[in-house]
Amino acid sequence: RGRTLSFRSRPQARDDASSYVHEDDGGLLIDGGIIVRAGSFADVKAGAPEGVEIVDHRPHLLMAGFIDPHIHFPQMQVTASYAANLLEWLNTYTFVEEQRFAETAHAERFAGLFFDELLRHGTTTAAAYCSVHKGSADAFFAEAFRRNLLMVGGKVMMDRNAPAALTDTAQSGHDDTLAVINDWHGKGRCHVAITPRFAITSTPEQLDAAGSLARRFPELHIQTHLSENDAEIAYTMELYPRASHYTDVYARHGLLGPKTLLGHAIHLNDHEAGLIAETGSIAVHCPTSNLFLGSGLFDLERLSRMGVRVAVATDIGGGTSYSMLRTLDEAYKIQQLRGHRLTPIESFWLATRGNAEALSLARRIGTLDEGSDADIIALDARATPTMAIRMETVSSLEEELFLLQTMGDDRAISAVYVAGEKVTI
Ligand code: GUN
Ligand code: FE
């Protein structure tokens, strides 16, 4: 029982009330990890079995757990590393830190810490990069499976332009990815993603191998990075002289399509945006990372207008917060600088149902619809004294959401349910 908010479709206007359902006194009946009934508390209660346990979350706002469609599991200790730009940050910190995930005990320890941190911030599903080591993916999925979390993850494929201890080969990257798929895909709520890190760290042979896996397993997600930084783009064009632009590198290797998550996608020309739209690939905006690394200002308005599917993510450890609330706040500010307004309704749609649609998982997660998995969070807009004082003057749902996104963080997450089970945060 609580106030409930669930999105149906992408909001078209500032307060497009047809895009969501909001119940002031709502009920969600959960059975076997699924939301079997949703509506007003009175209606849900009337149809519930005798003696059903009632948990009262009023006045907090119940919504689907947040979804983070681009995050790096082995970068918990990379966050807040002082670097001038992406390539310096990768070489100086990231490619050093990720080497530690060769050790199973280290990967296992961090898998626990990683999911603790996601859940504390209200994120119940993520699409994560593991390290190049197969063992890091095993640790990631073993822990996700143990906790019954719906997680997308992949062993990173990278066979050049990185320290020897952090590279595979076209063949071993393929074989290890295949082994991860066989071991984990479809086990519990685990989804394996084909994960070539980005064009710079893969030879054409490795991208071919990734493309052949994508053809063999069309249901799998593909995740990579695209057009984040000017020096990265220039180097990519040197490494792939026959490609007409960065996006074409992935197109030529059969890596674009409706399951492809393209992290960042900041500096795209019209041909690239057109190709991304046409193939149904997803541009994943990572606002805190883009600001922190000085990468650029994502053009949400133009890409959306051109029909590109978009998602919003943290990109820890380039990103600076696990919180999707902090992430939505920075996304809003980037759009402000671009002269475009992101509405709070659209922002919360993005972090829940929008990201679920981007992952082709909207029938399972991202809403409180009947039949959805019961991955649910309770949000407290009075979580801090500053927020409570401001809430005294808030009179609409839209204002409350905007306050949560502007001032909220992990303290605003008051409860988290994974497949119907309350987890300790
Ligand atoms: N491009 C290639 N690898 C990475 C990474 O780990 N983080 C970010 N932000 N960009 C990348
Ligand atoms: Fe990233």
Q: What ipTM was assigned to the predicted interfaces of this complex?
A: 0.99
- Residues 6 or more apart whose Cβ sits within 8 Å of residue 99: 131, 163, 165, 166
Question: For position 148, what pLDDT does the model report?
Answer: 98
- Rounded to the nearest 10 degrees, what angle do helices 170-184 and 134-146 cross at? 10
Q: Of the bound ligands, which one is closest to the alpha carbon of residue 225?
A: 1
Spell out, as residue ranges, where the chain has pLDDT lower than 70.
Answer: none
Q: Are 196 and 224 in contact (CB under 8 A)?
A: yes
| Dihedral angle over CA of 296, 152, 308, 203, nearest 10 | 70
- Residues 6 or more apart whose Cβ sits within 8 Å of residue 319: 71, 79, 286, 288, 289, 292, 313, 327
Q: What is the largest CA-CA distance in the chain?
A: 69
Shortest-distance atom of ligand 1 to CA 318: 9
Pocket perturbation via mutation, ligand 1, pick of 92, 158, 228, 239 by most ligand atoms within 8 A of CB: 228
Whether 246 is in the pocket of ligand 1, judged by its Cβ within 6 Å, is no
174 CA to centre of own chain: 24
* Residue 316 alpha carbon to ligand 1 centre in Å: 9
229-277 confidence digits (pLDDT tens): 999 999 999 999 999 999 999 999 999 999 999 999 999 999 999 999 9
Question: For position 95, what pLDDT does the model report?
Answer: 98
* Residue 55 alpha carbon to ligand 1 centre in Å: 41
| CA contacts within 13 A on the Cβ side of 408 | 28
Whether 198 is in the pocket of ligand 1, judged by its Cβ within 6 Å, is yes
Instruction: Specify the residue with its C-alpha closest to ligand 1, atom 8.
Output: 318
Q: Which two tokens stand for residue 227?
A: 């057009």
Instruction: Specify the residue with its C-alpha closest to ligand 1, atom 1.
Output: 225
Question: For position 204, what pLDDT does the model report?
Answer: 98
Q: Are 70 and 223 in contact (CB under 8 A)?
A: yes
Question: For position 231, what pLDDT does the model report?
Answer: 98
* Residue 99 alpha carbon to ligand 1 centre in Å: 15
The share of the chain scoring above pLDDT 90, in percent, equals 99
Mean pLDDT over each residue of the chain, to the nearest integer: 98
Instruction: Specify the residue with its C-alpha closest to ligand 1, atom 7.
Output: 318
* Residue 68 alpha carbon to ligand 2 centre in Å: 12
Shortest-distance atom of ligand 1 to CA 286: 9
* Own/partner long-range contacts of 104-108 (Cβ < 8 Å, ≥24 apart): 104/135, 104/138, 104/139, 107/74, 107/131, 107/133, 107/135, 107/136, 107/138, 107/139, 107/140, 108/139, 108/142, 108/143
Question: For position 15, what pLDDT does the model report?
Answer: 76
* Residue 225 alpha carbon to ligand 1 centre in Å: 7
Pocket perturbation via mutation, ligand 1, pick of 232, 315, 320, 327 by most ligand atoms within 8 A of CB: 315
The DSSP bridge pattern shows strands 61-64 and 2-7 to be parallel
Reference 126, options 212, 66, 38, 186; nearest CA is: 66
Whether 70 is in the pocket of ligand 1, judged by its Cβ within 6 Å, is no
Whether 72 is in the pocket of ligand 1, judged by its Cβ within 6 Å, is yes
Q: Give residues whose Cβ lies within 5 Å of ion ligand 2.
A: 263, 315
What order of strands is seen across the sheet that includes strand 2-7? 34-40, 20-31, 2-7, 61-64, 376-379, 413-418, 421-423
Around Cβ 415, how many Cβ atoms within 10 Å? 18
Q: Which two tokens stand for residue 405?
A: 């996104």
Q: Which two tokens stand for residue 299?
A: 């053009």
Q: Of the bound ligands, which one is closest to the alpha carbon of residue 236?
A: 1
Question: For position 14, what pLDDT does the model report?
Answer: 77
